[in-house]
């Protein structure tokens, strides 16, 4: 600050800011207090939060009764694997858009290609009809839908230039989950019901509901647009000249990526991972809808306290503290780098 | 500037991400579109066939539809007004020099990192409970006979308060970042000109913040249209449900896939109206 | 060895033609400077030789081998960038060693070569530092070190001195020339500064809008420019053009007198450099002329003067801008 501020004004600001800061933080503080009280004291907390004794018993009970560590394990598996999987997709994609951009737009599909798509879809319909004893069922309609809507839309996306490609990727993050919930729920849930009259699709007993096989890819897809986008902005800050220097120095593409680009982008990759970590750790919509036991993460674990039996506030508080503490600390450390990811770069 | 070799390689590097994202964004949408025109109830597997527009018809005629649509708009509108006004104030405050700025900043930003299920249950039980909650305790301390039953009497407001608490730090953090990019020299010049605080705010700060505010509004809208956990976990879906919750309950309680899909499409249309504007703003700022 | 030959090298982005077609032979051990105003395509031409960009058509040979489709890493050239392009996450030692590591050289040999290069470049004290801790001149020396360690077929310099301040620039210029004399490798040096071009080059290639306007030794270009463009670009202060740009005469080839001469004019301004004085003169219908006089000359602004051009040093140009030799 170049301007001089009187100490009186500074004192006033300090008081106001601290009061507001403490007020906003208060619910978290209050939960922390309740976590260390006995169950009966927790219910009279407003009257006697200082006078009642402190205890650690809640943490033990939470673990004992609802197997807290199992949920931590589940959350960690989902968060870590989906972050890694996301990086596997996102690093090459972000490299491509930052350093080998395609100003004219991607591959346009030729008329021959379109002919192939139409003939291919007809052929698949034909096969489907054959296996269904020539009855025109929803299977045929499903396939036609795929080829009338999904394939052209995907090709449209693929033909974007780099700028529009990024915007398209971001826009996929804006799609409301309610629009995808039904098919995802059905695909995850029970084979027979989704495809109940899609005669050809009797794939046996597959069921990825409430499993890591479903949750990890789903979480990856949910955050992939933001991960790609954030990595892209970090890669963009690396001068192309340095990569060119590596090329002149005889580095292969692999060496260029592994010895020059990745080490230089490491801080950016780290903060991308952190944002991904926070987002998927706190994700609730899909977790509540698609898990209930085996792959249930912490947000599901907490939701189980919404209607338990008996006294539960102290245990709820203890469980809550255990669920939020890691991410709160990570959030504190990375808040400054998160802004760019949280606004899609629209604010600098 | 890249060579053809790099560009060819670049396409292969990009293709997997495009493929999975295209699959993720178009396949479920196509299926939702398809289901929306089917007679398809999980409890009634024999009732099949095309439904025409009847799913939409019944979805719109559902007494919950108008109520939940209104709830959705009230939640989005109310929370945005609260968080943006509060966010501007907090950002201005945090931009001032004072003792312990770093710590206060951490305190203020904290609610954003709290899991939605946690904040819902903590607010509902520890703070807003009509008998044992802190708010009730405060009311009694000041001599009230009966404390407010927040979730019983004002379910929508209660959900709004919880979500506002979560999103206020977001608005504040973004706007603070924008504020700090305001040129120091510009501030000095205004101070030299003797501009009073009000007009400095009106003519310098507010115009500078207009774009970040727009971004905050758009992004919050997109996320707030999808409020779910806060409503589900506090069990107020029947009184303060929004569209997302309605789709969920059509699927989960009524097991009517067709109706739920029709509702999902309505949500998609609503969100798309907002994302068109957001994409445009983001696009202008994107150097690619 | 290090001969480079360009054959009808063309570069275009869609309809925008950057280089319409360049032919050039560079001999082994030669110091060639590409010079021209910004946007003339000199950097693009260098990057085409380096392989950092694709040609639209044409052919590049290094030591007689066609490298048109060879990636930069396979061409055996070394480049020094304007921005230094050092690896910020590596120490100076590792920066210099990087190309050797990429060539899979044994560690002992790498150490020996790096130490030798550091000795030559006076970088011994900085080997364990990061580029961020060095000054601009030191960074430039590291960049040069990285280029010389692996004995490339040729050095490519892309405006290497333009980020340095004036005094350092002169020192580095001399340093690079000394280095070239010691190593004897082919060098291509891109600059927009004609003083750098004149002082350093064995041969200068003048580029204008992607065309090679003229190739020749500094003195050839100075004495016998092929075109109006070259005449105007080479030499400082700029050549005077009179009679609708059909006649050119350099400031140092005009004699000035208070008493008699061919052209009359009035002194507008005089710049005293000590050794020389540059006079800016309003010569009426001939426009504004610059004249170089000896340092002792002190014409006050407003003085009426007479000028006599040296007829034998006059240059004549046609309507198309080409030189007419008489």
Q: What is the domain partition of chain A in residue ranges?
A: 107-159
Residue of A nearest to C50 (CA): A248
Q: Is B138 on the interface with A (CB under 8 A)?
A: yes
Give the pLDDT confidence score for residue A201 in this predicted structure: 43
**Residue B9 to chain C, least CA–CA distance (Å):** 13
Tell which residue, A204, A209, A205, has the closest CA to residue A187. A209
Q: How far apart are the first and last CA of chain C?
A: 41
pLDDT tens sequence across A133-160: 665 566 666 667 777 777 778 888 888 8
CB B76 within 8 A of CB A242: no
- State whether C51 and B4 contact (CB < 8 Å): no
For residue B7, being part of any structural domain is answered with: no
Tell which residue, C150, C213, C220, C161, has the closest CA to residue C189. C161
Give the pLDDT confidence score for residue A194 in this predicted structure: 46
Give the pLDDT confidence score for residue A103 in this predicted structure: 67
For residue B40, being part of any structural domain is answered with: no
| A→C interface, C-beta within 8 Å | 104, 239, 241-242, 244-252, 255, 259-260, 263-264, 266
For residue B87, being part of any structural domain is answered with: yes
Q: Residue A333 above 90 pLDDT?
A: no
User: What percentage of chain C reaches a pLDDT higher than 70?
Assistant: 100
What is the arithmetic mean of pLDDT over A46-66? 85
pLDDT tens sequence across B53-82: 999 999 999 889 999 999 999 999 999 999
Residue-wise DSSP of C101-167:
HHTT--HHHHHHHHHHHHHHHT-GGGTTS-GGGS-HHHHHHHHHHHHHTT--SEEEEESTTTTS-HH
Residue of B nearest to C50 (CA): B3
What is the arithmetic mean of pLDDT over B85-107? 91
For residue B266, being part of any structural domain is answered with: yes
| C→B interface, C-beta within 8 Å | 51-54, 71
Give the pLDDT confidence score for residue A67 in this predicted structure: 86
Facing A239 at nearest CB: one of C73, C77, C83: C83
pLDDT tens sequence across A85-115: 999 999 999 999 998 887 666 566 677 777 7
For residue B43, being part of any structural domain is answered with: no
Q: Is B4 on the interface with C (CB under 8 A)?
A: yes
Q: Residue B199 above 90 pLDDT?
A: no
Give the domains, in start order, of chain C with CATH numbers. 4-223 (3.40.50.300), 251-324 (2.40.50.140)
- State whether B1 and C53 contact (CB < 8 Å): yes
Give the pLDDT confidence score for residue A136 in this predicted structure: 56
Alpha-carbon distance of B112 to B116, in angstroms, equals 9
Tell me the chain C residues in contact with residue B3 when contact means C-beta distances shorter than 8 Å: 51-54, 71
What is the arithmetic mean of pLDDT over A184-210? 58
Q: Is C89 on the interface with A (CB under 8 A)?
A: yes
For residue B220, being part of any structural domain is answered with: yes
Residue B224: domain span: 50-285
Give the pLDDT confidence score for residue A197 in this predicted structure: 47
For residue B169, being part of any structural domain is answered with: yes
**Residue B231 to chain A, least CA–CA distance (Å):** 11
Give the pLDDT confidence score for residue A133 in this predicted structure: 63
pLDDT tens sequence across B212-248: 898 888 888 888 989 999 999 988 888 889 999 999 9
**Residue C52 to chain B, least CA–CA distance (Å):** 7
Q: Mutation test of the interface with chain B: which of C18, C52, C60, C68, choosing the one with the most B Cβ atoms within 10 A?
A: C52
pLDDT tens sequence across C206-248: 999 999 999 999 999 999 999 999 999 998 889 999 888 889 9
| Helix, strand and coil in chain B, % to nearest 5 | 75, 0, 20
**Residue A257 to chain C, least CA–CA distance (Å):** 13
Could you tell me the CATH number of the domain that includes residue B236?
1.10.3720.10
Q: Is B7 on the interface with C (CB under 8 A)?
A: no
Q: Which residues contact C205 (CB under 8 A, 6 or more apart)?
A: C24, C32, C33, C34, C35, C42, C212, C214, C215
* Burial annotation B67-78 (CB, 10 A radius, 16+ → b, else e): bbbebbeebbeb
Number of domains chain B contains: 1
Alpha-carbon distance of C148 to B220, in angstroms, equals 56
pLDDT tens sequence across B162-183: 999 999 999 999 999 888 887 7
Q: Which of A28-37, A75-84, B43-52, B149-158 has the lowest mean pLDDT?
A: B43-52
Residue of B nearest to C48 (CA): B3
Q: Residue C118 above 60 pLDDT?
A: yes
């Amino acid at each position: 600050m170049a301007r001089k501020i009187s100490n009186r004004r500074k004192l006033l600001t300090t008081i106001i800011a601290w009061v507001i800061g403490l007020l906003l933080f208060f619910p978290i503080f209050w939960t922390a207090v309740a976590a260390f009280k006995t169950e009966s004291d927790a219910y009279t907390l407003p009257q006697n939060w200082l006078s009642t004794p402190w205890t650690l018993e809640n943490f033990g009970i939470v673990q004992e009764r609802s197997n807290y560590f199992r949920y931590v394990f589940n959350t960690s598996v989902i968060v870590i694997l989906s972050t890694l999987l996301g990086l596997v997709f996102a690093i090459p994609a972000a490299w491509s858009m930052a350093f080998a951009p395609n100003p004219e737009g991607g591959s346009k599909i030729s008329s021959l290609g379109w002919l192939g798509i139409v003939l291919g879809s007809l052929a698949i319909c034909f096969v489907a009809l054959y296996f269904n004893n020539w009855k025109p069922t929803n299977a045929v309609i499903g396939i036609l839908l795929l080829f009338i809507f999904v394939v052209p839309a995907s090709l449209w996306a693929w033909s974007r230039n780099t700028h529009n490609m990024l915007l398209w990727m971001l826009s996929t993050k804006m799609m409301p989950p309610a629009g995808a919930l039904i098919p995802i729920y059905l695909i995850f849930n029970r084979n027979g019901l989704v495809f109940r009259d899609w005669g050809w699709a009797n794939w046996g007993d597959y069921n990825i509901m409430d499993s890591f096989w479903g949750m990890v890819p789903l979480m990856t897809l949910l955050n992939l647009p933001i991960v790609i986008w954030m990595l892209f902005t970090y890669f963009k800050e690396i001068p192309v000249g340095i990569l060119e220097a590596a090329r002149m120095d005889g580095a292969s593409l692999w060496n260029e990526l592994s010895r020059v680009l990745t080490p230089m982008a490491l801080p950016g990759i780290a903060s991308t991972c952190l944002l991904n970590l926070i987002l998927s750790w706190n994700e609730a919509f899909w977790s509540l809808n698609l898990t209930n036991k085996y792959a249930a993460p912490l947000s599901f674990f907490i939701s189980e306290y919404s209607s338990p039996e008996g006294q539960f506030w102290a245990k709820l508080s203890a469980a809550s503290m255990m669920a939020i503490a890691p991410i709160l600390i990570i959030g504190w450390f990375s808040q400054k780098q998160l802004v760019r990811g949280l606004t899609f770069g629209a604010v600098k | 500037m890249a060579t053809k070799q790099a560009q060819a390689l670049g396409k292969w590097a990009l293709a997997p991400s495009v493929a999975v994202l295209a699959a993720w964004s178009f396949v479920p949408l196509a299926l939702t579109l398809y289901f929306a025109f089917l007679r398809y109830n999980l409890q009634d597997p024999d009732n099949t066939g095309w439904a025409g527009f009847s799913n939409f018809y019944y979805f719109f005629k559902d007494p919950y539809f108008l109520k939940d649509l209104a709830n959705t708009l009230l939640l989005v509108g109310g929370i945005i007004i609260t968080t943006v006004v509060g966010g501007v104030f907090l950002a201005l405050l945090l931009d001032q020099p004072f003792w312990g700025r770093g710590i206060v900043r951490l305190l203020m930003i904290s609610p954003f990192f709290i899991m939605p299920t946690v904040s819902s249950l903590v607010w509902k039980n520890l703070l807003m409970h009509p008998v044992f909650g802190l708010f009730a305790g405060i009311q009694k301390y000041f001599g009230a006979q009966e404390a407010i039953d927040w979730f019983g009497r004002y379910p929508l407001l209660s959900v709004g308060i919880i979500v506002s608490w979560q999103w206020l730090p977001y608005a504040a953090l973004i706007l603070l970042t924008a504020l700090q990019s305001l040129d120091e020299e510009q501030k000095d010049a205004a101070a030299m000109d003797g501009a009073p605080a009000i007009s400095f705010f009106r003519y310098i700060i507010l115009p500078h913040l207009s774009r970040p505010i727009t971004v905050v509004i758009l992004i919050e809208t997109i996320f707030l249209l999808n409020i779910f956990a806060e409503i589900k976990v506090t069990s107020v879906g029947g009184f303060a449900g929004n569209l997302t919750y309605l789709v969920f309950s059509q699927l989960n309680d009524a097991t009517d896939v067709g109706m739920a899909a029709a509702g999902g499409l309505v949500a998609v249309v609503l969100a798309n109206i907002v994302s068109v504007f957001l994409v445009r703003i983001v696009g202008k700022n994107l150097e690619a | 060895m290090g001969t480079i030959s360009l054959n009808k090298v063309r570069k275009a982005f869609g309809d925008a033609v950057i280089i319409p077609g360049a032919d050039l032979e560079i001999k082994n051990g030669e110091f060639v400077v590409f010079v021209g105003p910004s946007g003339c395509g000199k950097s693009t031409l260098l990057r085409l030789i380096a392989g950092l960009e694709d040609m639209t058509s044409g052919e590049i040979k290094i030591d007689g081998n066609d490298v048109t489709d060879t990636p930069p890493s396979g061409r055996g050239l070394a480049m020094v960038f304007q921005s230094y392009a050092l690896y910020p996450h590596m120490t100076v030692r590792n920066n210099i060693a990087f190309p050797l590591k990429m060539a899979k050289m044994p560690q002992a040999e790498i150490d020996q070569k790096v130490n030798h290069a550091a000795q030559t470049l006076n970088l011994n004290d900085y080997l364990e530092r990061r580029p961020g801790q060095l000054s601009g001149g030191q960074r430039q020396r590291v960049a040069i070190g990285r280029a010389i360690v692996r004995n490339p077929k040729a050095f490519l310099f892309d405006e290497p001195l333009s980020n340095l301040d004036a005094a350092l620039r002169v020192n580095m210029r001399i340093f690079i020339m000394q280095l070239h004399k010691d190593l004897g490798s082919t060098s291509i040096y891109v600059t927009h500064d004609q003083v750098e071009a004149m002082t350093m080059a064995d041969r200068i290639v003048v580029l204008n809008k992607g065309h090679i306007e003229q190739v020749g030794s500094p003195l050839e270009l100075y004495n016998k420019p092929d075109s109006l463009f070259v005449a105007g670009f080479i030499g400082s202060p700029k050549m005077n053009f009179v009679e609708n740009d059909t006649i050119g005469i350099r400031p140092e080839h005009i004699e000035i007198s208070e008493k008699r001469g061919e052209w009359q004019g009035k002194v507008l301004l005089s710049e005293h450099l000590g050794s020389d004085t540059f006079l800016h003169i309003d010569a009426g219908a001939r426009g504004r002329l610059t004249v170089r006089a000896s340092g002792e000359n002190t014409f006050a602004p407003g003085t009426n003067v007479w000028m006599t051009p040296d007829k034998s040093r006059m240059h004549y140009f046609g309507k198309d801008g080409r030189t007419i030799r008489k």
